[in-house]
Amino acid sequence: MTSLLHLDSSASDCDDSVTRQLTALYADTWRRLHGSAGYRHRDLAAEPVPLVSPAFVSLGIRVERHGAVPLPKVAEMADSPAEEREWALTLPLIAEMRAAETVLVGVPMYNFSVPASLKAWIDRVTFPGAFLDPGTGDRLLRGTSVVVISARGGCYAPGTPREDFDFQTPYLRAYFTELGVAPENLRFVHAEMTRASDVPALAHFKPLAANSLAAARTAVSELARRPAGSGTAARMR
């Protein structure tokens, strides 16, 4: 079954969130093509993933000492109720990620990086060995497509004065590729200058914002129609 894991991390509701609007466009387009059976939506802001605790860390360290441990055996290695609780919170997130052919991530830029809600998910889902084949050590996400849709109040495109302030894109690129996603299966769509309509100092950038949003909508619609793993690694704007 074709499957899509849709993650939103914006603290704003859909009326105010550009990333939520764009991920909804992707998800709606995808479901028209594939149906809803393989679709899973997780709102990381409305239902926050708990921050990792000392028990999560201790269990992770113990598991990591044994190499790539099959997921069913991790629960057997928990040696306290706290570790059991941490694994019970973690396993469903890992299972969702492993089951998805495509992962769609809505990421507004907060203070030059990603929202805390997304970082909490990243920290928990990245459990030692969770995305490695325990028998061969192969990376299980090699064929997974990841589409990152970001919105930034200013403009951080290459060649702009604030290009070096974009810690969001390089961080997510490094994270997902290190997790095992093939570079050619990782795609970024950016909507720039999204605050131009409500910040007076940015008002003269409204045409740029409108053009960037229109381009983002076109890119999102095109990506939603592509088979998983079929695109290039180019950042789309």
* DSSP designation for 46: T
Residue listed under structure tokens 């008002």? 203
Model pTM score: 0.92
Residue type, 206: K
Structural domains in the chain, CATH included, are 4-236 (3.40.50.360)
Q: How far is CA 128 from the centre of its chain?
A: 18
pLDDT at 226: 87
pLDDT at 191: 96
Instruction: State residue 218 phi and psi, 5-degree precision.
Output: -65, -45
Tell me the pLDDT tens digit for each residue of 29-39: 999 999 999 99
Q: Is 193 annotated as a binding residue?
A: no
- For the chain, residues with pLDDT lower than 50 are 232-237
Q: Is 112 annotated as a binding residue?
A: yes
The span from the CA of 20 to the CA of 25, in Å, is 9
Q: Is 221 annotated as a binding residue?
A: no
The span from the CA of 88 to the CA of 75, in Å, is 8
The span from the CA of 179 to the CA of 173, in Å, is 10
pLDDT at 227: 75
pLDDT at 157: 87
pLDDT at 1: 66
Tell me the pLDDT tens digit for each residue of 120-173: 999 999 999 999 999 888 999 999 999 999 999 999 888 888 889 999 999 999
Q: DSSP E strands: which ranges in the chain?
A: 4-8, 39-43, 102-108, 145-151, 186-191, 235-236
Best CA proximity match to 166, nearest among 174, 155, 176: 155
Residue listed under structure tokens 């995808």? 30
pLDDT at 89: 98
